[in-house]
Amino acid sequence: MGSDGTDAMTTALGGIDPILGKSPIGIAGGHALIAIAVLAMAWLIRKPVSRLILRLVRTLMNRAGRGPNEDIIAALDPPIRLLLLIVAALVLNEILILSPRLKSLGEGIVRSALTFALFWAFYRIAPTIGRILDRRTASRGPELVDWGVWLMQCLALALGTAAILDIWGIHVGPMLTGLGLFGAAVALGAQDVFKNLIAGIFIIGERPFRNGDWIKSDGVVDGVVEMIGLRTTRVRQFDLAPVYVPNSALSDVPVINFSQMPYSRVDWIVTLDSGQSDTDARRIRDGIETLLTQSADVVQPPAVPLVVRFEAYADASAVVTGPRIMVYAFLKTTDWARSMELRETLAYAIRQLVDGAGQVSDGKVQPPYTPPSTPKS
């Protein structure tokens, strides 16, 4: 605003100032009214102006050929509204007649608010950037993306705080240098924390398991991975109790990942009664083999081995001392509940064969044929 305009405003407000006096912070009454009016106007128009700016952003995205990302637009809406209030405060700081000390204070507040708005916007769009990267790098997994989002938000907080402190003459560099010795002492006392943090980075990078995988580590945990965090991994046991395992405990020991199995294995020993004849034993073995080869739920060779063979006789101290049949096959599922259902069906069918209750047909045990009885004359 030119000097003539400022002089005219000062003259116009000069007649009001004697009537209204001064505010508690030393601003003339007329200027205080102008400040309230400008801030009120900015508060009222912040929503429609924000919608107008975001509409322009959508148009630019459409022209870029990628289409508007509504998540980014929604994330930018609150910072843009705050930005309008900051612009109003900047205008007031220029047109109001303030003492040098108040004007300097106002400039610091406006610059701090502007810095806050910019880094707040970056903080809010970080999750959206993470989702976009997750879609484009699906092979890396959501855990790595979640860490990336966390790092971006921490970076926004750290840089934003440092920038605001610098505005008020507080330099972060010398402070960090002075905290070097203290930081070294903290690092020595937090070795386990850093060990778990580094282990978590290796887990996410090497990806021996991911969220939703069923893992087992002897003496450590057995359950489904729910969240891989900075220091710990949360695993839900099959009794539904959560277990928080330090990442180093999972990176330094063998971990079985059942979810990465292509199939579910059946490895049984069927022990026959010692009184079974050779003919019955052969019939049972052949029946089990036919049952497995005809089942649509069993993986067939040559993809995987399928073995039904007499192995040896049971030890004399065993309850059942007859010949033992090894049953080795794979089921077409890795789902635990479905696997148990198929195992139950298979075990019941083998029990029927052992008891001589039927024969195998179309992958199922059919009851033996019983001719109809003729009525007595």
Could you tell me which of 249, 73, 216, 233 has the C-alpha nearest to residue 147? 233
pLDDT by residue (tens digit) across 47-104? 888 888 888 877 877 776 665 577 788 888 888 888 888 888 887 777 776 677 877 8
Q: Shortest CA distance to 358 belongs to which of 370, 346, 347?
A: 370
Interhelix angle 142-167/191-206, rounded to 10 degrees, is 130
The model's pLDDT over 100-144, given as tens digits with 9 standing for 90+, comes to 787 788 888 888 998 999 999 899 888 888 777 766 655 555 666
Q: What is the mean pLDDT of the chain?
A: 78
Domains, the chain, ordered by start: 3-169 (no CATH), 193-259 (2.30.30.60), 261-366 (3.30.70.100)
The pLDDT value given to residue 21: 45
| Residue 373: predicted pLDDT | 54
Q: Which two tokens stand for residue 136?
A: 């484009």
Segment among 8-22, 59-73, 265-279, 340-354 with least mean pLDDT: 8-22
* Helices and strands, counts by H and E, the chain: 12, 10
Q: What is the pLDDT of residues 249-293, one digit of tens each?
A: 888 889 999 888 899 999 999 888 877 788 888 888 999 999 999
Distance CA 40, CA 45 (A): 9
Would you say 76 and 57 are in contact if contact means Cβ atoms under 8 Å apart?
yes
Is the model's pLDDT at 359 over the cut of 60?
Answer: no
Q: Which residue has the tokens 């801030």?
A: 39
The secondary structure of residue 171, as a DSSP letter, is -
Phi–psi pair at 233, nearest 5 degrees: -115, 130
